[in-house]
Amino acid sequence: MFPFMRFIATVMLAMTVSTQAIADASRPKIGLVLGGGGARGAAHVGVLEVLEELKIPVDCIAGTSMGALVAGAFASGLTPPMMRQALAEADWNDMFTDTPDFSDVNYRYKQVLRAFIPASELGVTSDGIRFPAGVIDGVKIKLFFNRLVGAGKNERVIEKLPLPLSLIATDIGTGQRVVMREGGLASAMRASMSVPGLLSPVVLDGRKLVDGGLVDNVPIGEARERCNPDLVIAVNVGSPLMDADQVGSLLTISAQMVSILTEQNVSRSLATLKPTDILIQPDLGTISASDFSRNAEAADRGRAAAEAIRDRLARLGTSAELYAQWRKPINRSGKAPPVIDEIEIAGLKRVNPAMVERQLTINPGEQLATSNIDNDVLRIYGDGFYQSVDYQLLNLRDRNILRSLPVEKSWGPDYLRFALNLETDTNQGSSFALRAAYQKTLINDLGGEMLVTVGIGSSLGAGFTFYQPLDPAQRFFVEAGLKYERGLLNIYQNNERVAQYANANTVLGLWAGTNIGIMGQARLGWIEQKRSFERDIGSPSLPNFDTSYSGWAASLSLDQMNRLYFATRGWATRFDYFDSSEAGFSRAEADIQGAFSLGQTVFTGRVNYVGSPKGQLPFFNAGKLGGFLNMSAFARGQILGDDIVYAGIRAEQIIGTFPLGLRGDMRLGFALEGAHVGTYYTETNLSGTNILNSAALYLGGETSFGPAYLGFGYSTNGASNLFLSIGIP
């Protein structure tokens, strides 16, 4: 009896499989094509929602640019609702800045970024000046793609996906179309989305790849070649051409030229559609390619376009059983992240691998956590030596290998940097400063650096610094520096400038210190200083004088602000101490500041002290008050004195953000400030009142040259000031 029942069961199973095969064979083979369009490509998600509801299986999928993102996510097992949520939660403005959280930047690199415009970096090579490959390198974008396709759980390669997938890019060297049917999925998605001039190209197999929309924005031909479908469902979300009166600037002309090229290849591709094929073109209205904040709206419009032809699409649907059978191998596995057996660091030529290892928090024997590896990647990138940092999870010889992939800057390791500052106020007049620096990094295996600076404008200066770590992990270092500055010192009395001195300052410093992780430094050193003051304006009775002195110095600096400018959270502190026995004084300075946000309002506080624990601060080393957010009602450096305590709080309302690629907010701010001056050296008429106050109302925002402020400061002590500042002081 048992053999007979086994025979019956075998026959029934064969009949079931045969029925499914017949049913499956009876449906048309479908190729799905998702076109490029930047943020407009979120419409693909809405289309996929309808296809899934109607249980329409596809046999292959081809995508370009944003269509490549959606296609790759879908083929890797992400459902349309999961995609909609991922796009909604993504901070696209942050991703397109490429800048890691400033708290994740190495403190040594922080010092450079605070002194010079980050975007001004130019490479210096034996072949001359070299420019970065793009405005941004797309590190955060690539990490987002890794999360999207689940790269932290297993190796996501295109050829191993259960759904045949093709992604399109352009070889920027030859102009040829590149079809990616194998290799790393997230890297292929990133290559297909590399908008020229905005995102740096992706190097794959020796070719520099950029956005595939330049050559094949709606890759219908590739879908036909990939799986020979009976019909194609093509979704076109491309941006329409601008009207002639909208094209005038160099930027809009360039954008229009790219759009023309794209539209030409789209027209050729759409002309190949057959009567049996289905074309979906969502009405995306005013949604532009950069409107990532309108992802949900774009997805809804894509869904509406698919719903409009629901009856026609419904004919392509299958039974719930057959659709589940098709979907099962595509669905993302719920298995836990793997345990890492080995860590590799690949591709380095100049950087010591130990400098990368110090930023890794994942160790062999530990389970991989996506959030941890993402943070590690950003910290590595925050060292400033790399144009991109990525990772791969490989399984070789039954071992899980985490491969770190830092790519050193192709335009480094020597750089030119620049800074510009323009200031004007009603109390002091106008000033400007232009600074330039030559930075030579990675001089030796331990990461030695040299920095040469020059400055012109209202003040002149030159400097030389040599920084030498003492171990590969850069825990300890020594530093030597020589600096010369010549500027103007204004002397005020009764809110009037009564004198002006040309101030020359030469400083030689020798330091030894330790890096406190990436957040800060502690150092101890010896300083030799020479200063001279030569009267330019003022009473002939006012003296000129020179002085020289030396002494030991100590400092502690910590910086955990989340942004270089216009932080929304974090804290920073600095403590400096100098003691000169021969000059008979010591100088202590402490500065503490912090920021936090409530919704779109940012609150910031700062406390500063400058005083003399031993003796009295000499005039040339006095504490200073005046200038924006340092008693804003007064001119910069208007009040000089000893034992000065400053405290300020401010509230800033975020009233807008800059376009993609320009990190920063536009803010309307209000500041309340107070100060206590122990001994006045200028504005001695205020000696009767040790307490000063100031309030300021201002507009602020980040520009290509640094922060910009326009505002008004007022004090009941009799001062007021209208000020404008652009750039890095």
Distance, in Å, from the CA atom of 680 to the CA atom of 671, rounded to the nearest integer, reads: 24
Q: Kindly state the helix (H) or strand (E) to which residue 689 belongs, with its residue range.
A: none
pLDDT band at 253 (very low <50, low <70, confident <90, very high): low
**What confidence score (pLDDT) does residue 671 get?**
97
Cis amide bond preceding 413, omega within 30: yes
Q: Which of 173, 155, 200, 169 is nearest to 67 (CA)?
A: 169
Report the predicted TM-score, pTM, of the whole model to 2 decimal places.
Answer: 0.83
pLDDT of 14 over the 50 cut: no
Q: How crowded is the C-beta side of 71, counted as CA atoms within 13 Å?
A: 37
**How much is the average pLDDT of 539-549?**
87
Residue 324 makes CB contacts below 8 A (sequence gap 6+) with: none
- Is residue 339 a contact partner of residue 367, using CB atoms and an 8 Å limit? yes
Strands (E), 174-328: 177-180, 202-204, 207-211, 231-235, 278-280
Render pLDDT for 265-307 as a digit per residue (tens, 0 to 9). 999 999 999 999 999 999 999 898 888 889 999 999 999 999 9
Q: What pLDDT, on the 0 to 100 scale, is given for residue 17?
A: 36
For 586-621, how does the pLDDT look when each residue is reduced to its tens digit (9 = 90+)? Answer: 999 999 999 999 999 999 999 999 999 998 999 889
Predicted confidence (pLDDT) per residue in 376-389, tens digit: 999 999 999 998 89
pLDDT at position 255, please? Answer: 61
**What is the Cα–Cα distance from 528 to 543, expressed in whole angstroms?**
24
The alpha carbon of 73 is separated from its chain's Cα centroid by a whole number of angstroms, namely 23
Amino acid at 369: A
Separation of alpha carbons 247 and 241, rounded Å = 10
Strand partners, 608: 591, 646
Angstrom distance (rounded) from CA 717 to CA 720: 9
CB 537 within 8 A of CB 75: no
